[in-house]
Chain A
């Protein structure tokens, strides 16, 4: 008999994941799924962990991100000044139009370096 397991339902429902790749002096975060007020804390702790480990050149790749709300955007606001103060940056890349629209609505392109391709973001760090 199959028992209802709320934990497994929760896991399926979350639909958000992060993969990290260290690219020499740069940490790249690959976001997948839906980034909202429920899943944003996961991203916040991943970025905080990388910064605590001494990484200040961060690239966030949005290629597989389907949705973002302001809770997701807020995560980048928390860390941007901190990484820039040490000569680093958080560069955002490969957004779907739907995701970019939300950044654009709030004027984020004025504050953040947003590139079309990951290679461009990486190249800016090595320039």
Chain B
């Protein structure tokens, strides 16, 4: 399903700003609850971020944040069930930011409630997880979480939504 969002023409833009104007409006990748999907997801957001005009450093940060969010979702919410699907939506916000939304129909879990990891404590406990959310917060400009409403799961508007924003500059 494609949700269309329309941008107004920017014919009045300067040459510099025109070069940053993405040729896409809104794109969606449908992925399954399988870690083999991570490479395809990274490739999808990298291509869009590059098209939007991000530097290689910015492209890497966006791919990393989306990878971390999807890894957590696939492992901890979907429990590696490859029959379950989620969406990665990407769209420009004005001419200077990219918005990536990850929509899932798992149990709602606000990643923003996860405390920053204490490395020494984690090492002592042999803990290998819990870093992803911290990375997402550090590399993105804005992170918001909207839990699904309780009814009509499966309807895209009723899915959990993690919204990540990265500004061009």
A residues near B (Cβ < 8 Å) are 10, 13-15, 34, 36-38, 44, 67, 69-71, 73-75, 77-82, 98, 101-102, 105-108, 110-111
Q: A37-B71, A38-B38 are in contact. Are A70 and B127 (CB under 8 A)?
A: no
B residues near A (Cβ < 8 Å) are 35-36, 38-40, 42, 60, 64, 67-68, 71, 74-75, 117, 119-120, 122-124, 126-129, 131-132, 134-135, 138-139
CB-defined contacts of B64 to chain A, threshold 8 Å: 69, 102
- Min CB distance, B119 to chain A, in Å? 5
Report the Cα distance A110→B144, complex, angstroms.
30
Q: A67-B42, A71-B129 are in contact. List 11 more A-B contacts (CB 8 A).
A: A36-B35, A36-B67, A37-B35, A38-B36, A38-B38, A74-B131, A75-B128, A77-B123, A78-B128, A106-B119, A107-B119
Q: A37-B74, A77-B122, A78-B126 are in contact. Are A106 and B38 (CB under 8 A)?
A: no
B38 adjacent to A73 (CB under 8 Å): no
Q: A37-B35, A70-B132, A73-B131 are in contact. Are A111 and B138 (CB under 8 A)?
A: no
Report the Cα distance A108→B134, complex, angstroms.
13
| CB-based nearest A residue for B34 | A38
A36 adjacent to B128 (CB under 8 Å): no
Report the Cα distance A36→B124, complex, angstroms.
23
Q: A74-B129, A77-B122, A111-B123 are in contact. Are A38 and B75 (CB under 8 A)?
A: no
CB-defined contacts of B134 to chain A, threshold 8 Å: 105-106
CB-defined contacts of B39 to chain A, threshold 8 Å: 13, 15, 34, 36, 38
Report the Cα distance A15→B39, complex, angstroms.
9
Q: A102-B64, A106-B134 are in contact. Are A81 and B36 (CB under 8 A)?
A: no
Q: Please name 13 pairs of A and B residues whose Cβ atoms are closer than 8 Å in the assembled complex, sorted by A.
A: A13-B39, A14-B36, A36-B39, A36-B67, A37-B71, A38-B38, A69-B71, A70-B68, A77-B123, A81-B126, A105-B139, A106-B117, A111-B123
